[in-house]
Amino acid sequence: MRHIENKKLNLIRACIFDLDGVLVDTAHYHFLAWKRLANELGFELTPADNEQLKGVSRMQSLDIVLQLGGITATEHEKEVLANKKNAWFNDFVDRMMPEEIFPGVKQLIRELKAKGVKVGLASSSKNAKTVIQLLGIQNEFDAIVDGTMIVNSKPHPEIFLLTAEKLGIVPEECLVFEDAEAGVEAALAAGMKCVGVGSPLQLNRAHEVVAKTADFKITELAKL
């Protein structure tokens, strides 16, 4: 009797993009704003320190920054500091141009959609909607989840699971693009595939790592 092996095919039917550091270099603006806050508090914040802040919510990032500086603060003081950092971040965002979107990103999104792959945005940032509007890409996504819609920030999988649910695609058929270690962990915890954008040393847990988002070739989708 012939034995027919029923092999499960895990096709990627949705791509979920992080925002800061994946579609645009706002990750650098976050760093400059945190660095300014640290300097004002009397200590230095290095790019290496900044890796811990990527993908993490504003208040959690502040806790890490204060810990790095050995500073304790009341809840009210924390609120004031977080608002200050956010105002500095928004000074950069206000001057943002649509051309700041990373080269090739719009093309990649278009190619995915042409192949019938759904496209989602999952950003921990409460400023995400403003940023995508300034970039003129607010209508490119089939689902958007930002920092105002979640309780647990990355590395918790909530943001990606909610995006997948809105897209109507099961997690195993989703591919996440992430520049943060916390984001890669969140994608894996959600049971999704993940492309790391940045350094393979930092993002070694991702299924594949590219230096820039647009370096990802859609022919790779079938191999993941």
**If you search the block for the tokens 């660095």, which residue do you land on?**
35
Under the binding rule (CB under 6 A), the answer on residue 21 touching ligand B16 is yes
Instruction: Say which entry of ligand B16, Mg ion, none residue 118 contacts (CB below 5 to 8 A, set by partner kind).
Output: none
181 binds, among ligand B16, Mg ion, none (CB under 5 to 8 A by kind): none
Q: Tell which positions 159-188 bind Mg ion, by CB under 5 A.
A: 179-180
3-state SS assignment for residue 7 = coil
**Catalytic annotation on 20?**
yes
> Which range touches ligand B16 (CB under 6 A), out of 6-14, 56-64, 67-75, 206-214?
56-64
Q: Is 18 a catalytic residue?
A: yes
CA distance 153 to 123: 10
Contacts 24+ apart (CB under 8 A), 65-72: 65/34, 65/37, 65/38, 66/41, 68/38, 68/43, 69/38, 69/41, 69/42, 69/43, 70/43, 71/41
Start-end of H helices in 42-74: 47-51, 58-68
Residue 18 interacts with ligand B16 (CB under 6 A): yes or no: yes
Site residues, ligand B16 (CB under 6 A): 18-21, 27, 30, 53-58, 61, 86, 123-127, 147, 180
Site residues, Mg ion (CB under 5 A): 18, 20-21, 179-180
